[in-house]
Structure 1
Amino acid sequence: MKELSPLERAVEYIEAHLNENIGLRDVAGEIGYSYYHMTRLFSSVLGESAGRYIQRRRLYQASGQLLRSGRSVIEIALDSGFASPEAFSRAFKAAFGSSPAEYRKAGLDLVVNAKRELSPGDVYHIANNISHTPEILTLKEMKIAGVRGTTSLSQNRLPGLWEEFLRLRGERGRFASDEGYGICETQQTVYTQDGDVSFSVVAGGPVERFDGLPRPLVPKTLGPGRYAVFIHRGSFAKLFQTYQYIFGTWLPAAGEALDEREDFERYSRAVRAFDDPDNEVSIYIPIK
């Protein structure tokens, strides 16, 4: 029998407990991943939070009950984990484009896919622009000075953060090189009320010391240890597909275990444009 990947096991657990009051911590505990690694896995591979995934699946299950049972909307709403019929109706309309009552009356049967399909362009990118076998490196502790901000699955604020850092770097003479580092601070991951995921990130560069660091620059230390290093080439619009490959394809088959340290991106050459085909970034995934 084929061994299931951590994500497949997580989805299997969710499906088996869909009618129970479960959240990401329950899923992570069942799989043996930390809360933060489970967050990273869901957001990287499926492009949404575990909370939104669970809600979408509950709504799809509820849609079948609306069509195939005589139960009231209130009963279905409460059994689907919603605190009120109003909250259920709002979420249902956002997902299906109609209210539960309209959906039932029209006899609609819409499918909400649980897995994002890959386009031909995604397949080409994975085949040609990603280093499929990473280099395994053991790094010493690194000091990074940069600017801290937040980004989320629904709203990418990273370009503005990098613009601010590059402006500050041009005014300061303390950086050891022109390399750029983008660090995802997994311990600062926050679920918003609407089910989105907000990540704390630092955009910065290497320094030899932190003393006298002027605001708004903040100190950030990258811990020593083993990293699996992948190379991403081309438009940064495809970074999502690269992380899909790393967490969804390479990690389940690699026999490696994620470590609690933070993953980061290293830009060794100047970035001229977001969609520049000559862009290149090294992605460091912490492993035990």
Structure 2
Amino acid sequence: MNQISPLERAIEYIEHHLNENIGLSDVSRETGYSYYHMTRLFSSVLGESVGRYINRRRLYNASEKLIHSNQRVIDIALDCGFQSPEAFSRAFKAAFGSSPVEYRRAGLDLVVNAKRELLPEDVAHIAANISRSPEFVTREETRIAGLRGTTSLSDNRLPALWEEFLRLHKGLKDLFPPPGAGYGICETQQTTYTKDGDILFAVMVGSPVDDFDHLPPALSLEQKVLRAGRYAVFTHRGTFANLVKTYQYIFGTWLPTAGVELDDREDFEVYEREVLSFDDPSNEVKIFIPIK
């Protein structure tokens, strides 16, 4: 019997408990993954949060029942895991642009905004983009100074944050010792789930410094200490538009079969080469995944 991946196990658990009051904590507990890594897994491979996935799966089931059964709307709402008909109606209208009653009356079967059940072969298809083996390294503690901001799955604000930091960096070259690599840190442990199910990440961009004592107070640079430990290092080359595919490979294909255990530290990106444009085919970034 083949061992299923953590993502497949999470999806299987969700499907078996879809109509119950479950959330990220339940899925994390079932898979043995922390909030941090389960959030990272879903957002990287499926492009959405656990909560949004569950909600859209429930809406898909509800839309099927509305069209293909004679159940009352209130019974469908409760059967599909919604706490009240009002909550169901709000979520349904947000997804489909019509109320459940209007949807049924019109005989619609438009589920493009819902989510059908993901099968194991779907997960494999989503994840199988890059086939690169990582380098394993042990890093010492690293101090990073830079800027902190937020980004989300639906609104990538990182380019603007990088642009702001690079302008600052040019005037402070003496502050940052060589090599002047840029670091991008996804602080998923400081994650906010928005009302519409999106994920708002805290992120930091910066460069390594020898210490924090000599940072100019007037600049209000953010400080971050990356803990020492072991990492699996992947290299992404080419346009950053495909960076998500590299993460899909890491979390969806490599991790399930790698025989390693994730450590509860933050993953981060290191840019050792100058980035001339987002779509430059010569772009290169190293992705550090913390492992035990």
Give the TM-score, by structure 2 length.
Answer: 0.90
> Displacement, 1:78?
3.2
Bigger shift: 206-215 or 94-103? 94-103
Bigger shift: 76-85 or 209-218? 76-85
> Displacement, 1:27?
0.6
Check if 1:223 corresponds to 2:227.
Answer: yes
Task: Report what 2:139 is aligned to.
Answer: 139
SS in 2 for 1:75: helix
1:67 and 1:189 map into 2 onto residues whose CA distance is 37
Instruction: State the identity %.
Output: 67
SS in 1 for 2:166: helix
> Displacement, 1:94?
3.4
Task: Report what 1:257 is aligned to.
Answer: 261
Task: Report what 1:52 is aligned to.
Answer: 52
SS in 2 for 1:194: coil
Structure 1 residue ranges, 4+ long, deviating more than 6 angstroms after superposition: none
Equivalent residue runs for 1:42-121 within 5 Å: 42-111=42-111, 112-115=115-118
> Displacement, 1:89?
2.6
Task: Report what 2:184 is aligned to.
Answer: 182
Bigger shift: 87-96 or 233-242? 87-96
SS in 1 for 2:281: coil
1:163 and 1:30 map into 2 onto residues whose CA distance is 40
1:85 and 1:21 map into 2 onto residues whose CA distance is 15
Look up the equivalent residue of 2:145 and give its one-letter code.
A
RMSD: 2.1
> Displacement, 1:114?
4.8
> Displacement, 1:194?
1.8
Look up the equivalent residue of 1:278 and give its one-letter code.
S
> Displacement, 1:83?
4.1
**Deviations 1:156-182, CA, capped at 9 Å, x for gaps:** 110111011111111222001321000
1:114 and 1:170 map into 2 onto residues whose CA distance is 49
Look up the equivalent residue of 1:264 and give its one-letter code.
F
Q: Is the 8 A contact 2:18 2:81 kept in 1?
A: no
Look up the equivalent residue of 1:236 and give its one-letter code.
F
Task: Report what 2:40 is aligned to.
Answer: 40
Bigger shift: 21-30 or 58-67? 58-67
Look up the equivalent residue of 2:209 and give its one-letter code.
V
1:271 and 1:159 map into 2 onto residues whose CA distance is 11
1:114 and 1:145 map into 2 onto residues whose CA distance is 43
Q: Is the 8 A contact 2:35 2:189 kept in 1?
A: no
1:246 and 1:84 map into 2 onto residues whose CA distance is 39
SS in 2 for 1:137: strand
Q: Is the 8 A contact 2:147 2:221 kept in 1?
A: yes
Give the TM-score, by structure 1 length.
Answer: 0.91
Q: Is the 8 A contact 2:182 2:207 kept in 1?
A: yes
1:255 and 1:216, CA in 2 relative to 1: closer, same or farther beyond 3 A? same
Q: Show structure 2 runs of 5+ residues with no match.
A: none
1:159 and 1:263 map into 2 onto residues whose CA distance is 19
Task: Report what 1:284 is aligned to.
Answer: 288
Q: Show structure 1 runs of 5+ residues with no match.
A: none
> Displacement, 1:81?
3.3
Q: Is the 8 A contact 1:232 1:283 kept in 2?
A: yes
Task: Report what 1:15 is aligned to.
Answer: 15
> Displacement, 1:54?
0.2
Q: Is the 8 A contact 1:53 1:114 kept in 2?
A: no
SS in 2 for 1:175: coil
Q: Is the 8 A contact 1:46 1:115 kept in 2?
A: no
**Deviations 1:70-125, CA, capped at 9 Å, x for gaps:** 2222222233333443432332233334432232223333453455979x9x97xx
Task: Report what 1:149 is aligned to.
Answer: 149
1:77 and 1:263 map into 2 onto residues whose CA distance is 39
> Displacement, 1:211?
0.5
